[in-house]
Each structure stands twice: as C-alpha cells, then as structure tokens.
Structure 1
C-alpha cells in the first residue's frame, strides 16, 4: 500500500497526528485534510485479540524482544509481522521538490508454530528502519488474529566528544520517525540554531555533520523535534513528552584541526541515487566519452567520439539554464558553443576544453552537431569550488569577500545556506548569477579561528506539512534529494585590533 504523506496516514498514527497539529499548528486546514483522507481496510476494522505479550513495550533498533502468544489454533504455523515503512523524496521534472513519500509494507519479524494448547513463544529483533509507533500482528493461515503495540525510540551518538576548533563532529542517529511530528529534527549549538536533520530516504538512519566552533571549553549541542522548521522547546508539554530530547557537550581544546583549511568536501551520494537524467540520444554507431564526467570551473576535459561523419566539422553545443524564479520573467534552456573541430577520415574526434563557468548541480548535456543535426550527446557536471576568500584574517568588523563557483539552479541545489560558528545566518542563490556566488561576511567573535560553512538544503517544496525549506541540511551527505551537493568549509582568523 502506498502512502503519499500529504494524502493519507496510517490509522494507528491518526489520533496522535491530530493532537500535535491541533496543539501547535496555525495551518487549521491541515488537520482536517489528514483526518479526512485516512483509509482503512476491512481487515483493520475486524476485532483482533489482545493475545500478544512482549518483554518490553518500547526500545531501540536491534533490541531483542521476547514474546508470548496465546489463544492460537493449536499445532498451527504462525508468524509475527509489522508495518515497516520505506521513505523517499519525490522530485519532479528534474528540478521540483514535492516532498517526502512513505510506502508501507508488511514484513515478517519471526515465524514458528503453536503448541497443543495454542501457545507460542520466542524472540525477535527490532529491525532497522524508521522509529515510531508500530503494530505487531500475529497471523495464522494468512489471517491476522491478534495485535499489540510497540514503540521504537530514536538513538543518538556523537563522535568525537572533544577536539580543537574545526574538528568535524558527527552525530549518528537510528530510528528517527516518519510521522509529521517525529520526521524533522533541529540542531542548536550553544543555543544558536544550526540546521535540519532528516532520515527520509535512509529510513530513519541519519548522519549529521558540523564542525567544532568557539573558544576552548564546553559547548552545548541540543537536538529537538520541530516539524515547522524550528525546535519545539517545551516538548514535555507536547502530546509526545516521552520522546527523546538528546543533549551533548563537546569540549573545544586548544589549537586548530586540520579541517580548518578552506575546502569543498567530497561529493556525497544523493538520496535515492538522485534524479535520473534523460537518456542520451546517439545515432547508431556513435559513441561519445569524456575524460571526466564532472569537474570544477576551468578544469581540463577531453572529449572523444567515434562513428561520426568523416572529415566533417562538428560543433560542441553546451546546454544550460537561464532565468530567475523571482523576477517574473521565468527561466528556460539556453545553449552556448564550446567550439568546433574537424572529424578525421575514420569518423573519430578528440577535443580538449575547459569546464565552462556555469551552473553546477545536475549535469549539463553536450550535443555534437554536424550540419545542423545532433549525432551524439554526453553529460558533464560542474562541481562547486572556492575561487577566492579575501582577506583570510583581520580584526573584528573586517569585511570578508568570498566567491564560489558551481552553484546550481534547481529547487534542491540552487541555494547554499551559511552558518557562522554554527549559527545559521542566511542563504545564497546561484541561479540568477549563472552559478556564481559572491558575498561578504563580517568578522565577529574573540581572537582565533571562526568557521564559515555552506550547507546544501531545499530551497522550495510543494507540500509542507513538515517545513524543510531554506534551512541548512546537516544530513546532506546521506539524505539530500536530487543531486549530490557537497558542503563547503572555510575559516577566518580574527586578530587583535
């Protein structure tokens, strides 16, 4: 059964969702929409026995649970099942973010056989996946005959717990929820808002990355749920006061970490494998290859092709996008020429060029055109790069000018989200400037190194029962939709006056 999150919900979560939305939402129609679209199967409406006893009512992923089942048909095969959830991002037309989608599938936890008295006991392991409230069913002859509830709580681990300024801090999580209330988590550093944590495409498993900032000493990192885009602070008075609210202390030590140096991180893996680009259309017998399929602006690329018309001139056409979402003038595809070359007598071509100064994000298509007709195509992706940062040190009040190349244009890669010492400051858009991000930051803070970090995020989404827009996505390396945009790490040294 498929559960688009904005259309329907599992019956067992419906009451909780209504309470949350009624308690803290200004969107009055949202509750009505969810409740009106609840679907129930005939089987769900049947009266099931309360004949399953568990050794615990809640726990964590991979916990071992003992069970006892009674009132079964004697000497019959039986199985315990529950409603596992698969999550994914919906991205349409290569650039539009609709939002998350969840699909329910019933999985078997364990199987066995009842004894002569209709009893069955044993154990099972809580499977990896989303956390939240689940129903465990006992089935015989393919029919559900009993049920019991079980709650999977999220778990959190921070590594390392100390290090100098610039140290990469990783917070690993399992069992994050998929329901509206438990889907989004927000992180603060020393009571300053930093960014968003999600595990949508990774089914509740997440890995957030930040860097240690501030003067030597202890610094507070807090995680709280917050489906409206900010932490829900008085959670003990919410409909879910029993949910975890993890706090960590990180100790900044003397010195600086190796990661203090300006760098663009390695390209991560996009959620669900990223968007699927249209299939390339090559004429029969034509093959086109690039020495590299991605690179930063100005880096060298060699294109080779075979099967082209012999001794003809080929023009290499670079396809890109131009326009703006906010100007009212719209946007569309434009083409530029990378140059032309002569095909040899055997129909082969070798052509060297530099990665164009253009939009990053999803790949660009290159067309090989002979006599006005496209013979071959290939894709080239432009990666983000730090072009300049001036100056790199100075007293408080210094204006720091930074230029980044390779920003994207879609709703998932056209913007970067800036933090200064782990405090979210604002966002930058690259579409209107053809991938160029030039901006300034004012140096603040005590003498020493201060962090300037750019994170990927979601610029816009169609359905927002949980708001994930215009926020640094700290789980960018495992759960960012559409394309694999890396984080960009920089630092400025504040000096004495």
Structure 2
C-alpha cells in the first residue's frame, strides 16, 4: 500500500497505468458492413512481436418460453467470440482480414486482447441487415425463397414484413440462428410478373416510409429489398393438400400429468416417438409385475384459455388397450395413434388402478380433409385439420388465400372434439389455380414489442419457438 491507498485501489491504478503504457490503435476498413463481406483490421501502436486475440462482442438470441407453452418474447444475452489470433511485427503493427459471419445486425465492438484478458485497443462495426432472393422465377404453386441476414436484435430491426403485390403476408424474424431467417413465399397467380418486397416495423405491419423518411434508414441499408419475380405455368397440376416435411421429435416431459412413479421400477416407451394421427406405433413395457393386467391410458389437454379454463392433461378412457405382462414383466402392443390435440400426448400405464409408469407421443399436425379440390366461384371448401397443438406457439395456424391474410383457427376447445379443427371457406378468384396456406403464428406473447402476435410467421422454418412447426399447403382450381 502506498500514500495511504487501499490495496484494491492501488491495483486499479496499476491497471490503468499498464493500459496507458500499452494502449494501441485499431482501425476497421468499414464502419458498416453486411454478413458475408470481408473486413480488414489494422492494429497499430502496439508492443512489438506480441500475440493478441481479436474478440468480437455480440449476442445470442432465443425465445423466452415458460413451461414450453407461454411465449414471453425474444431474449438476448451477450456473447464474445475470438475471431482471430494475431501477432504484431517489429513495429507493433498487424493487419488481419476476416469475413463477417452470420450474426445479428447492429453495432459490434471489436477488441484487441492480451493473453491476460486486458483490452489494449478497440473499434466498432455495424452490421446492416439485408435480404437475398433465392430465385426470381417459380412455377405456379411452387415457392420463392427469401433469406434475411443481420436481423435484429434491436426491437425495430428484428421484425420484417413481406408483401406480395402490395399485400402484407406476414413477418420474418431472426430471433434464433444469429439473425438469419428463411421464408418461402408461394408463387400464386395469375402467371406473369409480380412484386415481392420486404418492409420493416416493430408494430408488425409495414411502415411505408422505410425507404424515404425513416430515421433508421432504408430497409437493407441500400441493398435490394424489392424484386420483380415471374410466375410461370406449371409443368404438372399442383398438389392439392400437403404439409412441410416433419422432423423426428420427442415429447416434452413438462407437459406430462403429475404421476408419482418414484416407487416403481416399471418403464414405458413408445416407438416412434412422434407422428400424425393414424401412425402405427408400438408401446413397450419393462420391469412391470409379471402376469398382470396393465391399463394403458391416453391423455389429452383440456381447457380454454380465452374462457379462463386452465389447460391440464386429462385421462381419456378406452382409447388404448389393456395388456397382460409375461413372466418377465414385459409386454409390447401395437396401436394406432388416435386423432387428438397436437404437441405432447401423455400415455401412462396403470396396475390395479395405480399409474406406475409414463411416456409420451409428440402429436404432429395433419390435413384430414380438403374437399372439393375444384369447382366454380362460391364453392364451399371444407377443411379439417388434426394435431393442432394446444401450446401458444402452435395453437393458431394463420390462413392466407393467394398470399392474402384471411384469419386464424384455434386448435383447442373445452369439449371432446377429438382434436379436429373444422372450417369452411368460399372459393374465390378467376378461373385457374388458387392457393391456401396456413402458417404457424404466435397467438399471444407477454412482451408488447415488437408485435409478433396473431400474424403469419413466415420464418417459422428456422425461427419459431420451441418446436419446428410445419405449414399447411392446399390448392383449389376455379372452374368456369
């Protein structure tokens, strides 16, 4: 201790002295950049022949979700990455080039850091968002693909809207995947030239002064955000009813009922662990009492959040069989997955009325009915969907007709409807093919901004909360 200073304060002063002795200069070739561009970092006025790390200050993003059900909102936390290791020359200088990796837009601090963690020089770089169109031509009923880079996390810049022929289709966001998002836009008719455009606004609808008078500058910092595309006649008739490819999934155990299995060694499993209604599955049991009847019990989630009825897993009798274990206390039985609400469907095994083991099946959505597939204007199209989930982020598929927003459906009620969502739509438009798409949406979110609620989530493929939800796709032909 010197001059009556505490040891902690003396250490702090020494650090400042060391910092002033070794403080250097870092200059970046561009103050503003895009993902995929190359930057040059010029370090100067540093000690000669020393090793340093170039550290990139950024964030990680995810959806805040409570109990795998209620969406809080987009959540971000700091992240630091070492993007290069450099060594100064005899003059205390270095030059390093780096290609900007996929990351969130906004300002990023770059630091030159010693081996002991001391920062000796720094600079800032701003990543601007931009969008790329994968194809400018698509057959009627196929898709155009838009990929956004450098999205968010700022509340203004993590919600971009896509318009087709000046109609607002829905939003893209880069909450996950480090600011990168993908949207597939249906090529709807008539064949010929159409316009795709990306807008920006935290309220979830396009702010039409984006590119003329916005305080945040143009949508993509000067890069293209509007494209003229061409829809061509199809080589074959479009598919009339299908879903995106589904992934193999596992049930979410937090959605199981509260069953006390601590005193039991019994194990219950199901193969496969996910699929649509009608899937053939095998339920297996081990370490059950030998030569005993086992009741298999199917659960659905009942309740109604709008009516204030809590949503809870409730047993449904007679959906699954009763089986008998063998001398080793094992069994296996084949079942057909019944139609029911989507998401986790708990299954328990009971002996003498006591549930002693539990597993679950991840129910995925299905188009049960789409009929008819052609007819004159005004024809009533009947649609039945099953496997629409009860959690917030999968409860309300949002329908578009020829890329125009129509409305949403709800996948849960307080009666035993068998998990089937039914709706009727009138066929409209000129003679030829017309397209109905239902995208996942976030029905409700605790945070108000940006406004992601009750809008088609076009970047659901790589940015939807919790589960990789598919979209529904349908086609109807208007006949004269």
TM-score, normalised via structure 2 length:
0.87
Deviation at 1:49, TM superposition (A): 7.4
Equivalent runs, 1:1-20 vs 2, <5 Å: none
Q: Does 1:417 align with 2:435?
A: no
* Contact 2:24–2:43 under 8 Å retained in 1: no
Name 1:176's counterpart in structure 2.
151
Equivalent runs, 1:315-394 vs 2, <5 Å: 315-337=295-317, 338-360=320-342, 362-394=343-375
Deviation at 1:125, TM superposition (A): 2.4
The size of the alignment, in residue pairs, is 450
Q: Does 1:265 align with 2:240?
A: no
Separation of aligned partners in 2, 1:139 and 1:164: 53
Name 1:23's counterpart in structure 2.
none
Give ranges in structure 2 of 5+ residues lacking alignment: 1-14
In structure 2, relative to structure 1, the CA distance for the partners of 1:125 and 1:299 (3 Å cut) is closer
Separation of aligned partners in 1, 2:263 and 2:429: 60
Separation of aligned partners in 1, 2:363 and 2:263: 26
Separation of aligned partners in 2, 1:471 and 1:257: 32
In structure 2, relative to structure 1, the CA distance for the partners of 1:232 and 1:50 (3 Å cut) is farther
Separation of aligned partners in 1, 2:129 and 2:253: 32
Secondary structure at the counterpart of residue 233 of structure 1: coil
Separation of aligned partners in 2, 1:268 and 1:290: 17
Secondary structure at the counterpart of residue 298 of structure 1: coil
Equivalent runs, 1:303-318 vs 2, <5 Å: 303-318=283-298
Q: 2:378 aligns with which of 397, 402, 409?
A: 397
Separation of aligned partners in 1, 2:228 and 2:281: 47
In structure 2, relative to structure 1, the CA distance for the partners of 1:258 and 1:380 (3 Å cut) is farther
Equivalent runs, 1:150-229 vs 2, <5 Å: 150-229=125-204
Secondary structure at the counterpart of residue 85 of structure 1: strand
Q: 2:473 aligns with which of 489, 493, 497?
A: 489
Q: CA RMSD in A?
A: 2.6
Name 1:6's counterpart in structure 2.
none
* Contact 2:248–2:273 under 8 Å retained in 1: no
Name 1:241's counterpart in structure 2.
217
Deviation at 1:95, TM superposition (A): 1.0
Deviations 1:299-344 (A, max 9, x none): 3322222221112111111122111011133332211122322223
Equivalent runs, 1:55-70 vs 2, <5 Å: 55-70=29-44
* Contact 1:153–1:243 under 8 Å retained in 2: no
Separation of aligned partners in 2, 1:75 and 1:186: 50
Give ranges in structure 1 of 5+ residues lacking alignment: 1-41
* Contact 1:409–1:435 under 8 Å retained in 2: no
Deviation at 1:104, TM superposition (A): 0.9
4+ long deviations beyond 6 Å: 46-50
Q: Does 1:300 align with 2:274?
A: no
In structure 2, relative to structure 1, the CA distance for the partners of 1:242 and 1:276 (3 Å cut) is farther
Name 1:21's counterpart in structure 2.
none
Deviation at 1:265, TM superposition (A): 1.6
Name 1:441's counterpart in structure 2.
425
Deviation at 1:295, TM superposition (A): 2.7
Q: Quick check: 480-489 or 68-77, which moved more?
A: 68-77
Separation of aligned partners in 1, 2:101 and 2:69: 34
Separation of aligned partners in 1, 2:469 and 2:218: 36
Name 1:93's counterpart in structure 2.
67
Separation of aligned partners in 2, 1:106 and 1:276: 33
Deviations 1:342-381 (A, max 9, x none): 2233322232332122101x21111110012223222112
* Contact 2:240–2:373 under 8 Å retained in 1: no
